[in-house]
Structure 1
Amino acid sequence: MLEQSSKEFEWVLIDDGSSDETQNFIEELKKKDLGFTLTAVRQSNAGKHAAINSGVAAAKTNWIFIVDSDDALVPDAVETITTSIATATDKTVGLCYRKAYFSGELLGNDLSTVEQSFISTPTEAGKLFKGDLAYIFRTDVMSAFPFPIFKNEKFVPELYIWNKLGDAGDIIFFTRKIIYLCDYLEDGYSRNFSRHLRANPKGFFTYYWSQFLREKTVYYKLKNLIRSVQCILYMLLGRPR
């Protein structure tokens, strides 16, 4: 964030119950002339979805861009976003750009042969891109669709809310522009899906059942129905020890 070519943003930093040096890092940042507003919120560990809810509630700007603590932005990310926002219509509720590994390798499909931008839904775009995407959403719309919170669970798939936001208006997808850099951690969600599913069955059920109702083809409906049943079984069996 410190290297952005544009300083026209507010950094809302959510400390989700960290036990490392995050608070010291925040205090050091507060002493600097950053050129942008820094808002820090500390809460008990409740999961990324709860941290997003807190960030949206604390934000004072009109748009939200979620960046994980282990990831980074390219230097012109904010500049790219603000330029697109300036040309967005009243119907636009979101923008979406590409992610890449820190090595520069694109996540997902190379779509250089298709149009540079188009309007779609997160579910349908996901089938085309086949890789994680960098979403930016209007704050007022995100405020209307907070993530549900389930006792003793710390995860709800983001696509559950992203689809609801897409139902509220247009999301513009940019097929080429990379603004977000990341790597996958060994203990991350993508590499430990089964464990996360078992630990958060209500959150996953909420997502998969919603997808079952949303999908139009038999294949995807069946896929989400199977996952929904799996979540119900995990709810009956209880949390893993």
Structure 2
Amino acid sequence: MKLSIVTSCHNRAKLLERVWQGLVSQSSRDFEWVIGNDGSTDNVEDVATSLALRSDFPITFVDARKHVGKSRIDNAMIKAAKGDLVLFCDSDDYLTRDAVEAVIAAWRPGLSGVTGLATEDGGTALFDPFYQDEIEASWRDLADRPDEGTSDMTLAIRTDLLRETPFPEVDLLYPEGAMVRNLNCAGGGPTKDNSC
């Protein structure tokens, strides 16, 4: 099991070092990092090259050269991904030391993906399980969950599913959460009423 951690950025080169610090500290090296440049005018390519030279894990740089929007750059990163699962890590996120290990440990064949809460701890995104005990649910069931103060999830989704059901390239922003319906209908699991 290998993860492809994908980070898209548009004029956020200054934040990549922080993401990288979280990746360097990982207890597992079963991952690669795919950085997607969404037409930045800052020095994101130079920063990515510098980080790649200092890394003991593979880094792939996907360059759109012009601003194409998050959905298009995400699709390009997914196409370049070599891992079994794609873990979305925004350019302002930081993965805790055991995030890769936790995702891999939670994975079982037959699942569409693994998700946990992205909580805030002094500005640091953490991978945190939804419940003390594991549950299996459809993507829609997770999206419809009423949570107090929980607005963001950390998503690790099967690469093959994301390739079969790419982000619609209809606007400059199509967030991961909007993929719930598409993934559910593509085999992410039935909802309680068996509808897509």
Paired residues of 1:12 and 1:59 also in contact (CA < 8 A): yes
Partner AA of 2:156 in structure 1: I
Partner of 2:163: 143
- 4+ residue segments displaced more than 6 Å: 104-107
Measure, in 1, the Cα distance between the counterparts of 2:140 and 2:189. Answer: 13
What TM-score do you get using the length of structure 2 for normalisation?
A: 0.73
Paired residues of 2:52 and 2:58 also in contact (CA < 8 A): no
1:166 alignment partner, one of 165, 169, 184: 184
1:97 alignment partner, one of 110, 116, 119: 116
- Gaps (5+ residues) in structure 1? 172-212, 215-241
What TM-score do you get using the length of structure 1 for normalisation?
A: 0.60
Alignment partner of 1:5 is 2:27? yes
Paired residues of 1:10 and 1:37 also in contact (CA < 8 A): yes
Q: What is the alpha-carbon root mean square deviation over aligned residues?
A: 2.6
Measure, in 1, the Cα distance between the counterparts of 2:102 and 2:52. Answer: 26
Between Structure 1 and Structure 2, the one with more helix by share is 1
Measure, in 2, the Cα distance between the counterparts of 1:27 and 1:80. Answer: 28
Alignment partner of 1:50 is 2:69? no
- Bigger CA radius of gyration: 1
1:77 and 1:170, CA in 2 relative to 1: closer, same or farther beyond 3 A?
farther
Alignment partner of 1:131 is 2:148? no
SS at match of 1:73: coil
2:134 alignment partner, one of 113, 117, 130: 117
2:59 alignment partner, one of 24, 38, 41: 38
Partner AA of 1:74 in structure 2: T
Task: Tell me the number of residue pairs that the alignment of Structure 1 and Structure 2 aligns.
Answer: 163
